[in-house]
């Protein structure tokens, strides 16, 4: 007899290899994944009810000692349970007072999480101002660079003509268009969009529309403003819209960024933007979310978002992460932009583990190798 502990990422695949009966795979898989749900600003009586209901289905609630005597009107707690526990507990909470019906709705969103294929997004900057010189190319060499990125394993190529680094110089809509229009037309002429999905890193409607006409499939809106024009363009051209969270603008975003609760504020931001998109007719299947690492966030804010990234899976949208060679790495381990590839890979692999499925990076070949190895050993 041999006994050893195993860490299983793909539960259903492991059970299939174990030759478990097909009818039992989903049932058993639901019992294998443990969730930790942090609930803040919940009415104290609700915590006591939740704890009793959780225990009745086999789950657990960790809460402050003060909830027993209801010293405070509001409290916090940690719910611990499997997907099976959450399903049963959600039904119980739906009949309870003190705001527990809202808890039930939230639990349902975690139960119904979707899974997406992992994709690498290669970065191409048609400007001379982006923070990493290795991503900057002139329009005359861009086509060859694009082909190289695709050959290295980029499923998506993200092209931008304006730098969004901290304190970046503002560029007029006219200049942005002039920088990128010839490349967009050449991508169309050579039908390169048949080899990969192309993303336009812009929030300028005229630039975005020209890109979509040229065969692009993603609008990468770093402002996250998602104004009506961009949403309507996404619908018109059947494109996906990437909504990124940024506090402030590139010119001032890193001047003492502050949040009372970064997780709640970013989550509320996405909830409002998704509601707006859906109201105009863009479905969640066509929305990509990006928490905006380094965009109006301190090291602590960035780490909090990365560690708790799985929270955002509840929206049912694809999740993009882009920490490639960013200053978050320098804040952890002092290094120049050119020295930050190892830190980049570490962050991106952790992000994949926590729910991201699109990795935006400068070093496609290195990420392809890391992801191929990670996909094999994570089982």
The residue annotated as part of the active site, out of 179, 240, 326, 340, is: 326
Q: Which long-range contacts (CB under 8 A, 24 or more apart) does 370-376 make?
A: 370/345, 371/118, 371/120, 374/349, 375/118
Query: What length is written for the chain?
Result: 379
The residue annotated as part of the active site, out of 276, 360, 368, 378, is: 360
Does residue 245 contact residue 221 with C-beta atoms inside 8 Å?
no
Rounded to an integer, what distance in angstroms lies between the CA atom of residue 84 and that of residue 196? 39
| Sequence-distant (≥ 6) Cβ neighbours of residue 305 within 8 angstroms | 262, 263, 266, 291, 293, 297
The C-alpha R_g of the chain, in whole angstroms, comes to 23
What are the angstrom distances between the C-alpha of 282 and each of 231, 240, 290, 354? 7, 9, 17, 26
> In DSSP terms, which residues pair with 42 in a beta bridge?
75
Rounded to an integer, what distance in angstroms lies between the CA atom of residue 246 and that of residue 221? 10
Type and span of the H or E element at 358:
strand 358-361
Q: Is the dihedral of CA 267, 271, 272, 273 positive or negative?
A: positive
- Supply the DSSP symbol for 80: E
Does residue 362 contact residue 134 with C-beta atoms inside 8 Å?
yes
Q: Examine the residue annotation and report whether 114 is marked as an active-site residue of this protein.
A: no
Rounded to an integer, what distance in angstroms lies between the CA atom of residue 191 and that of residue 73? 62
Q: Examine the residue annotation and report whether 360 is marked as an active-site residue of this protein.
A: yes
Instruction: Report the C-alpha dihedral over residues 224, 230, 236, 241, rounded to 10 degrees.
Output: -20
Pairing state between β 34-43 and 74-82 = antiparallel
Residues recognised as catalytic? 326, 360
């Amino acid at each position: 007899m041999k006994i050893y502990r195993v860490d299983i990422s793909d539960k259903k695949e492991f059970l299939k290899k174990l030759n478990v009966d097909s009818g039992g795979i989903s049932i058993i898989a639901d019992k294998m994944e443990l969730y930790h749900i942090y609930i803040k600003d919940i009415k104290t009586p609700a915590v006591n009810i939740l704890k009793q209901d959780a225990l009745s289905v086999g789950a657990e609630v960790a809460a402050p000692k003060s909830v027993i005597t209801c010293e405070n009107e509001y409290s916090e707690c940690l719910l611990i349970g499997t997907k099976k526990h959450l399903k049963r507990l959600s039904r119980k909470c739906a009949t309870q007072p003190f705001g527990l019906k809202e808890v039930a709705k939230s639990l349902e969103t975690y139960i119904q999480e979707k899974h997406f294929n992992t994709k690498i997004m290669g970065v191409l900057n048609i400007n001379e101002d982006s923070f990493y010189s290795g991503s900057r190319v002139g329009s005359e060499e861009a086509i060859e660079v694009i082909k190289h990125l695709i050959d290295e394993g980029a499923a998506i190529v993200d092209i931008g003509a304006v730098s969004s680094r901290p304190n970046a110089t503002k560029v007029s809509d006219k200049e942005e268009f002039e920088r990128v229009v010839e490349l967009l037309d050449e991508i169309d002429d050579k039908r390169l969009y048949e080899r990969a999905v192309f993303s336009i890193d812009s929030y300028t409607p005229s630039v975005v529309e020209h890109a979509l006409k040229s065969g692009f499939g993603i609008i990468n809106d770093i402002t996250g403003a998602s104004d009506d024009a961009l949403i309507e363009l996404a619908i018109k051209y059947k494109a996906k819209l990437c909504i990124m969270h940024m506090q402030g603008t590139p010119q001032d975003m890193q001047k003492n960024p502050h949040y009372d609760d970064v997780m709640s504020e970013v989550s509320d931001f996405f909830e409002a933007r998704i509601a707006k998109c859906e109201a105009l007719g863009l479905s969640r299947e066509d929305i990509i979310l990006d928490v905006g690492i380094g965009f109006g966030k301190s090291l602590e804010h960035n780490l909090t978002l990365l560690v708790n990234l799985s929270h955002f899976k509840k929206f049912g949208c694809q999740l993009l992460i882009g920490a490639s060679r960013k200053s978050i790495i320098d804040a952890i381990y002092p290094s120049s932009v050119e020295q930050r590839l190892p830190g980049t890979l570490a962050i991106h692999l952790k992000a994949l583990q926590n729910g991201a499925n699109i990795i935006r990076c400068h070093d496609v070949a290195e990420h392809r190798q890391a992801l191929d190895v990670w996909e094999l050993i994570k089982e």
